[in-house]
Structure formats: C-alpha cells, structure tokens
Chain A
Amino acid sequence: SAVISQKPSRDICQRGTSLTIQCQVDSQVTMMFWYRQQPGQSLTLIATANQGSEATYESGFVIDKFPISRPNLTFSTLTVSNMSPEDSSIYLCSVEQSRGTEAFFGQGTRLTVV
C-alpha cells in the first residue's frame, strides 16, 4: 500500500491569489495524478504528473492555471493560480505504485475562494 500526505487539508483564499498543494508519498510510485471534485460530484482528472517532465493535462485544464511539479518519485505539487470562486473545490492527489495495481488517494485539499 501507499500512504499519501496531502497539504494543506483545507484553505480559504482570496481571489486572484495562488495556492500550492503538496502531495507526499511514503514510497516511490510510478504514476501520480491530480483530480478535482466539486461538492457532491464525481472526480475529474486534471493531469498526470510526470517525473522530470511537463505534466500531461486533460481537456479543459491548462498549465498556466494549474502548474504541476514532480521532482522525484515520491513528491508532487499542484498550484491553483489566479484563483476565482469557481476554483472552490476539493483537490485530490492519487498514485499507482505500478501499472495494474490499485490507486491510492490522499485525503484531499478543500479549497474555498472568496
């Protein structure tokens, strides 16, 4: 199994500012992903965090708005830039230790933009 520490667990931010969310895993993992979950809704994939290279973004998500870093096999960050109230959501980090294994999720970061 993999234990994921996601920080912060929640934050209230002013519009126009940026927030960086950290995801730390207790073991090296092959795959790391970032999801967004609106209240009462399902999860939507934002991007795949690639080690040592640019993240792969899903349709509707761009690097300028959600820059992602992954400097090694245990750590990644997601930044929500120039925030607006529409960015209020839960952001989740997910990892898979290798292809074909189960995915593990962090507890999520509950972001409120005012």
Chain B
Amino acid sequence: LAKTTQPISMDSYEGQEVNITCSHNNIATNDYITWYQQFPSQGPRFIIQGYKTKVTNEVASLFIPADRKSSTLSLPRVSLSDTAVYYCLVGDWMDTGRRALTFGSGTRLQVQP
C-alpha cells in the first residue's frame, strides 16, 4: 500500500472549515483514497472515499488533484464533536490479494469553542 503523510495535529474553532491534506506520492493506478475518523474510545469510522476530482457526502468533501499525489479532506463548519483523529489510507480495495487496511499516524484535530 502507498505510504501516506499527513500533519500530526491541527487546531480549529467551531464554525470554521477544516482542510486536512494527505500526501501519497507513490499512489498506484488502481488505488483509492479513503478517510477514516476515530473518536476516543471508539473504533475508526469510514468518512469518505474517492479516486479522482471531488467527492462529497453529508459529512465531508474529498478533493483529489489530477496527479492524485495528494488529497484534501474538507470538513465544513466543524463543531466540538468533530474533535477526533483522522486517518488517510490509500490502497486497491478490490485487490483480492491485499491485506487489511494500513493506518498511518493520522491527524489529531482539536476543535475549540
């Protein structure tokens, strides 16, 4: 699986938009980009997945440039409850020979009132 690099931590305030960028220079043609969120004392939870351009769901948006060597998770108008660790993962999820998800260090987002 491609190695990912993301900031260790970020701080924000309620109501602001938060953008977390993940670098994945060695992404392969068949790889998708997936983001997970983990609250304290809980298992990670799927947020969003994309291959190229932009993907949006009720929780977040994912921006992927044409070269796909990076991606940005955008959280609109964060609230205190968005305080969590966010993991960026890259891999070929349809590959029958792949192993499980490989988690990097993640970005610890702290939202202040």
CA distance A31 to B102 in the complex (A): 15
The distance from the CB of B28 to the nearest CB of chain A, in whole angstroms, is: 15
Q: Does B44 contact A (CB under 8 A)?
A: yes
Looking at chain B's contact residues, is the secondary structure mostly helix, strand, loop, or mixed? loop
Total count of chain A residues near the partner, CB < 8 A: 24
B96→A99 contact, CB < 8 A:
yes
Q: Identify which of A58, A102, A107 contacts B43 (C-beta below 8 A).
A: A107
The distance from the CB of B103 to the nearest CB of chain A, in whole angstroms, is: 4
Total count of chain B residues near the partner, CB < 8 A: 22
**A94 in contact with B43 given A42-B87, A42-B106, A43-B103 (CB within 8 Å):** yes
Q: A33-B100, A94-B101 are in contact. List 11 more A-B contacts (CB 8 A).
A: A4-B43, A35-B100, A42-B87, A43-B44, A92-B43, A102-B34, A102-B49, A103-B44, A105-B44, A107-B43, A108-B43
Where the two chains meet, the residues of B that have a C-beta atom closer than 8 Å to any C-beta of A are: 34, 36, 41-46, 49, 87, 93-96, 99-106
Where the two chains meet, the residues of A that have a C-beta atom closer than 8 Å to any C-beta of B are: 4, 31, 33, 35, 42-45, 48, 56, 58, 92, 94, 99-108, 110
Going nearest first, the 10 A-B pairs with the smallest beta carbon separation are A105-B43, A102-B46, A33-B100, A43-B103, A100-B94, A100-B93, A42-B103, A92-B43, A45-B100, A42-B105
